[in-house]
Chain A
Amino acid sequence: EVKLVESGGGLVQPGGSLRLSCAASGFSVNGQYMTWVRQTPGKGLEWVSAIYSAGDPVYADSVKGRFTISRDISENTLDLEMSSLGAEDTAVYYCVKVGDDNNGFYFMDVWGKGTLVTVSS
């Protein structure tokens, strides 16, 4: 079974840092297109960051320069290092596997349950 389990969320002070991790099972994150999507409590979905199959990272403008996405092949995890956190970063963070239909069209086919990050003093 393909499964994603996030960890690392919690309460952090403004300006602080936090590292999220996503444990993958049933597949290898090595060479897999993966993303992080967040959801502010009671609001909609916002794409945060992605790492392409080849390893290139991309970021939403709202987190560029503050967040770093990476893969740990040995642990089979997807990680998100977050720094200079502000109240606007408070959200549930979902780890998501991106699938494709073998014709170059992508979609988010497996989601973790999410981990809550709260930025507050």
Chain B
Amino acid sequence: YEVTQPLSVSVALRQTATITCGGDKLERRVVNWYHQRPGQAPVLLIYRDSNRPSGIPERFSASNSGNTATLAISRAQAGDEGDYYCQVWDSVWVFGGGTRLTVL
């Protein structure tokens, strides 16, 4: 099973960025999202399609429908830059290729 992400997304400061994760009938699977800042380890951002762990701001939201899961980052800040990865389970853990977010 494969999930695909755009290589890069840009967003203006304080605007909303959306990052997609595509896969066949993806809505039938559970999607997790991770954020990795440069030089740091990934951090869990969203689990089970749309749930935020404690400590993750409400600016981060996600959904999963059809063949696409979507991560939305509202009021984008400089600290939101980095790589975002979606992940699913398919007998093994599968990561998307990652999307580099740039805040302009």
B53 and A109 within 8 A (CB) = yes
Count of chain A residues with a beta carbon within 8 Å of a chain B beta carbon? 22
- Residues 12-44 of A at the B interface (beta carbon under 8 Å): 35, 37, 44
Given contacts A107-B32, A108-B34, A114-B41, contact A58 B95 (CB under 8 A): no
Complex partner residue of B92 from A58, A113, A114, CB under 8 angstroms = A58
CB distance from A91 to the nearest CB of B (A): 13
Complex partner residue of B42 from A35, A45, A106, CB under 8 angstroms = A45
B43 and A111 within 8 A (CB) = yes
A119 contacts B by Cβ under 8 Å: no
Q: Which residue of B lies closest to A92 (CB)?
A: B41
Given contacts A107-B32, A108-B32, contact A47 B41 (CB under 8 A): no
Q: Which residue of B lies closest to A98 (CB)?
A: B93
CB distance from B91 to the nearest CB of A (A): 9
Q: How far apart are the CA atoms of A4 and B32 in the complex, in Å?
A: 20
Given contacts A111-B41, A113-B41, A114-B41, contact A47 B51 (CB under 8 A): no
Majority DSSP secondary structure for residues of B touching A: strand
> Across the interface, which residues of A come within 8 angstroms of B44, CB to CB?
107-109
Chain B 56-78 near chain A by CB (<8 Å), digits 1 or 0: 00000000000000000000000
> Across the interface, which residues of B come within 8 angstroms of A78, CB to CB?
none
CB distance from B3 to the nearest CB of A (A): 11
Q: How far apart are the CA atoms of A114 and B43 in the complex, in Å?
A: 13
Q: How far apart are the CA atoms of A36 and B42 in the complex, in Å?
A: 13
Select the residue from B47, B53, B89 with max chain A CB neighbours within 10 A: B47
B97 and A44 within 8 A (CB) = yes
B92 and A106 within 8 A (CB) = no
A105 and B93 within 8 A (CB) = no
Given contacts A94-B42, A105-B47, contact A47 B94 (CB under 8 A): yes
Instruction: Return 14 A-B CB contacts under 8 Å, by A number.
Output: A44-B95, A44-B98, A45-B85, A45-B98, A47-B92, A58-B92, A60-B92, A94-B42, A99-B47, A105-B30, A105-B48, A107-B44, A111-B41, A113-B40
